Amino acid sequence: MKYVWKWIIYGAALVCMLPVVLIVTGVFIGNTELQNILGAVVQEGSSYATWHFVPLYPTCRNLLEVLLDTPEFFVLFWNSVKVVGCILAGQFVMAVPAAWYLARRHSRMSKCVMLIYMFCMLLPFQVTMLSQYIVLKQMALIHTHGALILPLVFSTFPVFITYNSFEQIPQSVIDAASMDGADRFKIYWYIAIPIARKGIYAAGILGFFEYWNMVEPVAVFINDKKLWMLSVYLPDVTSGEIGKTFAYSLFSILPAIYVLYAGRNILADGIMIKGMEN
Amino acid sequence: MRKKTRRNDITRVVICFFVILGLCTWISRFTKSVLTPVVESGCPVSMMLPHTISGTGLLSYRKVTPVYLYAGILVDEVFVTVGQNVQKGDALVQYNLARLEEEKQDKEFELEQLKSTRSMTGRSLEREKTGAEIVRVENAVKQLNDLIEQKGIFYADMDGMIQVQNQKEGDYSLDAAAFMVGTEGQGYIVSMDIPEEQRSYVQEGDVATVATEKAQDSFVIDSLFYDSEKHVYTIQIVVEGADYYAGERVQVEMEHDSRKYDTCLPLAALHSGGAGNSYVLIEKEKNTILGTELIAEKVNVKIEDSNMEYAAITSTALRTEDRVIISSDKNVEEGDIVREKQ
Amino acid sequence: MQKDKNRHIRQFIQSDIGFILPSLLGVLLFTLLPLLDVIRRSFVNAGHPGFINYRVVLSNSSFRLAFRNTLQFEMISLPLLFVISLLIAIAVKEIKHSFVTFAFLLPMAIPSNSVAVIWRILFDDHGIVNGWIVNVFHGDAVQFLQGNAAFGLLIATFLWKNVGYNMLLWLAGLAMFPPEISEAAKIDGAGKVVIFIRILLPNLRGTIFTVWMLSLMNSFKIFREVYLIAGNYPDDHIYLLQHLFNNWFSKLEIGKIAAAACITAVLFFVILLSVRYMVMGKQEKNRLGRSWRHQRISGKKGKNI
């Protein structure tokens, strides 16, 4: 029984990995071969698309073309890096202290605030996008990166994640520190953050996936193509440059995959759930 | 320990990644800028097209005197050519002596006949007629005698330049003027041939610049006519001045402004589209990820008129504010991205 | 001594408002104020106050369709995700192979436009999956982007993307659960299923709530993939609330958006409160009591059990 389970799990894992495998192998397939195997998707016909996991004629052309010949890609890439970096940095400054505050103070007020924060976290973008647009326009941020960065810096999701980590810190540690004469900021910076750093990393990593992948705010708040992000640009699959699409996708996926790889253990450890009580 | 090295690994990988991508960013921009054609562009202008006809004209005397030869005698040699200056007493042609003698004998015979005829008739009218004939023939004989005395060489009796030569060697001497000799006194004429396609740009009354090595001056075109033998149009310009001498070849230039055309472009901006069609490439702004880029767009045009530098065109799609690509350092096709010269 | 401690703590608590103030202001400005503005706009139509927007929205057939679809989607996919990710979490815990965890987490990391490209290739009418179905399994080609198949694809995509994430959450929750208790139960002779229902689940309340809430949040993010694959007006079966909002936004139907947004927001709030109470209700009072007990001995009694 366990054996069967094991192989089911492995199978499921493989299915989850399939798209990444497709992209990685697809990058090295030349355009003509891609036309042959995927042509059925592009043109109407009676045949079906197939896939070559090992290309018949491997080529690095698409890869090199995107890396060396396509300045557009890099504009998008650095935009993404800039926006995501600013958001994560801002969240560290804004959200983490708030979580610390809410985690240590157990008054009714803070419970209320936490509830409101959870509610804000749940709201889909579309509910507030109209009024957010107006607010941003008033602040003259519309059509700049500020329109993407600022609202998300104040997202309440990282508050939620780090709150759970901060809550795990025993009160005794805090008391000991405050008795040693440390002021509140020192306690926060030198004690709370190092202890809860896994939670903070986890919030950062989850935030990275979220914002590297951001689509709707970009589509609504920004209409200047110079400011687009990698996640928004979708090269045309139907054109003859399918290989380039794969290369583009590969390079937009790579950072996310690496972050996942580097942080897989931290993610597991950092997400603390409120423990059970006896 | 392991944590720290892992942290270092991660940092190293991240930094490497960013460095590589930064490098690639730079490389891709570099290749793009190298491969992008750099163009010069301009808007179509409204102007008149000046047409400059230039060529070499031949200076000749305005005053011409015909020289007649004794007609009907075989001419052995012609000593002069067109453009040659002759002076009084220069040898012009060499009659065939034998023929001269023959002619003289014929004429003498004729004279005798006439004289006998005269003596035989009694009527005064006929006598007068014959008398006139006798005088003519006597003159002819005298001419012939003179010629024979001169060994058959006919000498010029004036100074001037042979401007037209109708008499050829080996031909019989002509009734019409054998030569036209130009003499000083009434100025000069510059003659120039105009090819058919330039005919429309020249009109009588236009101002032409006549230039010698020493000086140049402007004169008015006197006449324009079609030479049916040589199948060219010839213009004649009356030239006054002391710096000219006949026979000289001079540079003649005429400028004629066409009517004002609304859209004119430099010739370099036009491209041939095959089958006699022409097109130009205009710059169109396009908003792309890299900012505002210029893309070449094709616009069909029809050429109305052109001179050496500009062409006047008509086009349904070309507007006066469109920037037309005039020149580029690489071949530009429709749809290419181009860059303006800084 | 105690009083000193109390004073210290009181000072500590009372004087670090600065920690939360920027965040509060930001949230206020960018989320709550817009929300209030939306509420205000929902009651205004061309300058006249009234409920007309709500009436229009509630009777609008597109809204009903989108609402029904979204509700259907939530009610089917959330429980499915719950169960599947929990089972996988339990199995993965025993495998202890970190690569498997990594593989399951991968879909979470893949940006939506890459997913759109791959999905197009796979699930097109002449795509790779149909090729397998027809050539290998000799079945009929399925039109994945239309009809019920589209809905199925939507749910499958959602599950694929979030299984890893939820598995992570379950693993985190399970990790807090010391194995001794289940060992003890096993020794007592309880079967696996009994352990599961009677012991694990009740103690995973916090996890359940977190998982549920985050899954709900993520279920609305699947709109991105649908939008990139099927555009603004997909098949009726997968026309979600967000499609509706997007289309109304591009047509500047502000009153309708505002009213629909209000309805949605209120629903969220109600659901959040009720589930929280259901799952965490008693828990809350316990925790509150415990922390109070730490702080004060004399004076007010904590609400202990």
Mean pLDDT of chain A: 85
B335 phi/psi in degrees, rounded to 5: 95, -10
Q: Which of A175-183's residues contact partners 24+ apart within 8 Å by CB, and which partners?
A: A175/C5, A175/C9, A178/C8, A178/C9, A178/C12, A179/C8
> Which pLDDT value is given to residue A276?
38
Asked if B255 contacts B50 with a C-beta cutoff of 8 angstroms, the reply is yes
**Average pLDDT score over residue span A147-151:** 92
Listed in sequence order, the DSSP H helices in chain C are 2-14, 21-27, 33-42, 52-59, 61-95, 98-109, 112-123, 128-131, 147-175, 179-187, 192-194, 201-203, 205-221, 223-230, 241-250, 254-295
CB of B158 within 8 Å of any CB in chain A? Answer: no
**Average pLDDT score over residue span B272-287:** 86
* Selection from A151, A164, A153 nearest residue A114 by Cα: A164
> Which pLDDT value is given to residue C291?
44
Max CA separation in chain A (angstroms) = 78
**Interchain pair C217, A159: CB under 8 A:** no
Give pLDDT tens digits for B200-238. 777 777 888 888 777 788 888 888 888 777 777 888 888
In a domain, B296, yes or no: yes
SS3 at position B236: strand
CB of A181 within 8 Å of any CB in chain B? Answer: no
Could you tell me the fold of the domain covering A71-233+259-270? MetI-like fold (1.10.3720)
- Shortest distance between the Cα of C5 and any Cα of chain A, in A, equals 8
Residues in B closer than 8 angstroms to A261, CB to CB, are none
* Selection from A87, A62, A88 nearest residue A249 by Cα: A62
Residue B202 CA to residue C109 CA, distance in Å, equals 79
Residue B153 CA to residue B93 CA, distance in Å, equals 6
Chain A residues 168-187 with a CB less than 8 Å from chain C: 171, 175, 178-179, 184
**Interchain pair A122, C213: CB under 8 A:** yes
In a domain, B245, yes or no: no
Residues in C closer than 8 angstroms to A126, CB to CB, are 241-242, 245-246, 249, 261
In a domain, B157, yes or no: yes
Query: What is the 3 state secondary structure string of chain A?
Result: CHHHHHHHHHHHHHHHHHHHHHHHHHHCECHHHHHHHHHHHHCCCCCCCCCCCCCCCECCHHHHHHHHHCHHHHHHHHHHHHHHHHHHHHHHHHHHHHHHHHHHCCCHHHHHHHHHHHHHHHCCHHHHHHHHHHHHHHCCCCCCCHHHHHHHHCCCHHHHHHHHHHHCCCHHHHHHHHHCCCCHHHHHHHHHHHHCHHHHHHHHHHHHHHHHCCCHHHHHHCCCHHHCCCCCCCCCCCCCCHHHHHHHHHHHHHHHHHHHHHHHHHHHHHCCCCCCCC
Asked if C287 contacts C77 with a C-beta cutoff of 8 angstroms, the reply is no
On the question of pLDDT at C265 being above 50, the answer is yes
Residues in A closer than 8 angstroms to C138, CB to CB, are none
CB of A71 within 8 Å of any CB in chain B? Answer: yes
**Interchain pair A74, B291: CB under 8 A:** no
At which of B134, B149, B165 does a domain end? B165
Give pLDDT tens digits for B173-201. 888 888 888 888 778 888 888 887 777 77
Which residues share a beta bridge with B38?
B339
Residue keyed to tokens 């096993």 = C186
Give the domain ranges of chain C: 43-295
Residue keyed to tokens 């070499």 = B56
Q: Note whether B40 and B123 are same-domain residues.
A: no
Strands B38-42 and B337-340: parallel
**Average pLDDT score over residue span C284-300:** 44
**Among partner residues A226, A258, A262, which is closest to B291 by beta-carbon distance?**
A226
Asked if B130 contacts B114 with a C-beta cutoff of 8 angstroms, the reply is yes
CB of C236 within 8 Å of any CB in chain A? Answer: no
Tell me which chains share at least 3 CB pairs under 8 Å with chain A.
B, C
Size of interface A-B (CB pairs under 8 A): 46
CB of C15 within 8 Å of any CB in chain A? Answer: yes
SS3 at position B188: strand
Residue keyed to tokens 């006598």 = B127
pLDDT over 90 percentage in chain A: 19
**Interchain pair C172, A156: CB under 8 A:** no
Taken in order B292, B296, B297, B302, the sign of the CA dihedral is positive
**Interchain pair A225, B287: CB under 8 A:** yes
Burial of A108 (0-12, 13-18, 19+ CB in 10 A): exposed
Range of the domain at B6: 1-33
Q: Note whether B17 and B73 are same-domain residues.
A: no
Give pLDDT tens digits for B136-153. 888 888 888 888 888 888
At which of B139, B165, B191 does a domain end? B165
pLDDT confidence bin for A79, thresholds 50/70/90: very high
- State which amino acid sits at residue B5: T
> Which pLDDT value is given to residue C296?
43
A237 vs B13, higher pLDDT? B13
**Interchain pair A74, B28: CB under 8 A:** yes
Asked if C120 contacts C112 with a C-beta cutoff of 8 angstroms, the reply is no
User: Is it the case that chain C and chain B have 3 or more CB pairs lying under 8 Å apart?
Assistant: no
CB of A228 within 8 Å of any CB in chain B? Answer: yes
On the question of pLDDT at C129 being above 70, the answer is yes
Pick the residue of A63, A65, A69 with the most B CBs within 10 A to test the interface with B by mutation. Answer: A69
CB of C291 within 8 Å of any CB in chain A? Answer: yes
Tell me which chains share at least 3 CB pairs under 8 Å with chain B.
A
Q: What chain C residue is nearest to A180 in terms of C-alpha separation? A: C8
SS3 at position B212: coil
Return the CATH number at B271. 2.40.420.20
pLDDT confidence bin for C295, thresholds 50/70/90: very low
Q: What chain A residue is nearest to B293 in terms of C-alpha separation? A: A226
In a domain, B101, yes or no: yes
Give pLDDT tens digits for C20-43. 888 888 898 899 888 888 888 888
How many angstroms separate the Cα of C188 from the Cα of each of C183, C246, C286? 8, 57, 28
Q: Note whether B41 and B90 are same-domain residues.
A: no
Burial of C139 (0-12, 13-18, 19+ CB in 10 A): exposed
Q: What chain A residue is nearest to C259 in terms of C-alpha separation? A: A127
Query: What is the 3 state secondary structure string of C218-269?
Result: HHHHCHHHHHHHHCCCCCHHHCCHHHHHHHHHHCCCHHHHHHHHHHHHHHHH
> Which pLDDT value is given to residue C281?
63
CB atoms within 10 A of CB C148: 12
Asked if C196 contacts C83 with a C-beta cutoff of 8 angstroms, the reply is no
Chain A residues 15-74 with a CB less than 8 Å from chain C: 15-17, 19-20, 22-23, 38, 40-41, 44-45, 47-51
Q: How would you classify residue B52: left for phi > 0, otherwise alpha for psi between -120 and 50, otherwise beta?
A: beta
How many angstroms separate the Cα of A4 from the Cα of each of A11, C88, C100? 11, 13, 16
Q: Note whether B74 and B19 are same-domain residues.
A: no
SS3 at position B306: strand
On the question of pLDDT at C297 being above 60, the answer is no
Which residues share a beta bridge with B327?
B40
* Selection from C147, C166, C164, C156 nearest residue C122 by Cα: C156
Q: Note whether B75 and B42 are same-domain residues.
A: no
Residues in A closer than 8 angstroms to B15, CB to CB, are none
- Shortest distance between the Cα of C118 and any Cα of chain A, in A, equals 6
CB of A68 within 8 Å of any CB in chain B? Answer: yes
pLDDT confidence bin for B273, thresholds 50/70/90: confident
- Cβ neighbours for A48, distance < 8 A, ≥ 6 positions apart: A40, C126, C127, C128, C130, C131, C134, C135, C141
pLDDT confidence bin for B77, thresholds 50/70/90: confident
Chain C residues 195-214 with a CB less than 8 Å from chain A: 203-207, 210, 213
Chain C residues 41-100 with a CB less than 8 Å from chain A: 41, 88, 91-92, 94-95, 98, 100
In a domain, B329, yes or no: yes
**Average pLDDT score over residue span B70-94:** 85
**Average pLDDT score over residue span A235-257:** 80
SS3 at position C139: coil
Give the domain ranges of chain A: 1-59, 71-233+259-270
**Of the candidate ranges A72-81, C158-167, C255-264, the one whose mean pLDDT is the lowest:** C255-264
**Interchain pair C31, A128: CB under 8 A:** yes
> Which pLDDT value is given to residue A166?
87
A145 vs A245, higher pLDDT? A145
CB of C103 within 8 Å of any CB in chain A? Answer: yes
Give pLDDT tens digits for C141-155. 778 778 888 898 999
How many angstroms separate the Cα of C90 from the Cα of each of A6, A12, C93? 11, 14, 5
Which residues share a beta bridge with B124?
none
> Which pLDDT value is given to residue C8?
64
> Which pLDDT value is given to residue A91?
93
- Shortest distance between the Cα of A180 and any Cα of chain B, in A, equals 29
Q: How many domains does chain B have?
A: 3
* Selection from A144, A155, A137, A138 nearest residue A87 by Cα: A155
Which residues share a beta bridge with B284?
B295
Mean pLDDT of chain B: 83
CA atoms within 13 A on the CB side of A151: 30
Residue C175 CA to residue C161 CA, distance in Å, equals 23
Return the CATH architecture of domain C43-295.
Orthogonal Bundle (1.10)
CB of A189 within 8 Å of any CB in chain B? Answer: no
In a domain, B5, yes or no: yes
- Specify the pTM: 0.76
- State which amino acid sits at residue C204: L
